[in-house]
Amino acid sequence: MKKYAALLMITLGLFASGSAFAIGAIAVDDSVGEKDPAWGVSTGEDTEAAAKKAALKLCKENGDNCKVVAWFKTCGAYASSNKFYGYGYGATKKVATTKALEMCGNKNCKVVVAECEDD
């Protein structure tokens, strides 16, 4: 996916929970503008809805057109370059980051964040 921007606005949120089945989500603002899209990551939430809501809230601190691109029960990752982004999820951080980089699809893509529920 293409994105046009110059500066990445970073917002990362980590939420602790005692739930045995914690859930996380990734939200991204990929609108065209003067700066790179904002993003937000939530982890440790009790429900899919709560994880999505938390990720959106964090993304909207620096972005206006945020949307949830992924939710996960294990590991999630977000990768970005100046014009592309990708996300991934899977059983391990390595699987999630590999998928994020593959989706990003550009040699300049770097993993911005990778989180696992058991970290």
Q: Where are the domains of the chain?
A: 8-116
Q: 37 versus 34: which is more confidently predicted?
A: 37
Helix or strand run (H / E) with residue 95: helix 93-104
Q: Which residues contact 94 (CB under 8 A, 6 or more apart)?
A: none
pLDDT of 80 reads: 85
Query: What letter represents residue 102's amino acid?
Result: E
Whether residue 23 has pLDDT greater than 50: yes
Low-confidence winner among 14-23, 25-34, 48-57, 72-81 (lowest mean pLDDT): 14-23
Please tell me whether the overall predicted TM-score, pTM, comes out greater than 0.85 for this model: no
Whether residue 2 has pLDDT greater than 60: no
Low-confidence winner among 12-26, 35-49, 84-98 (lowest mean pLDDT): 12-26
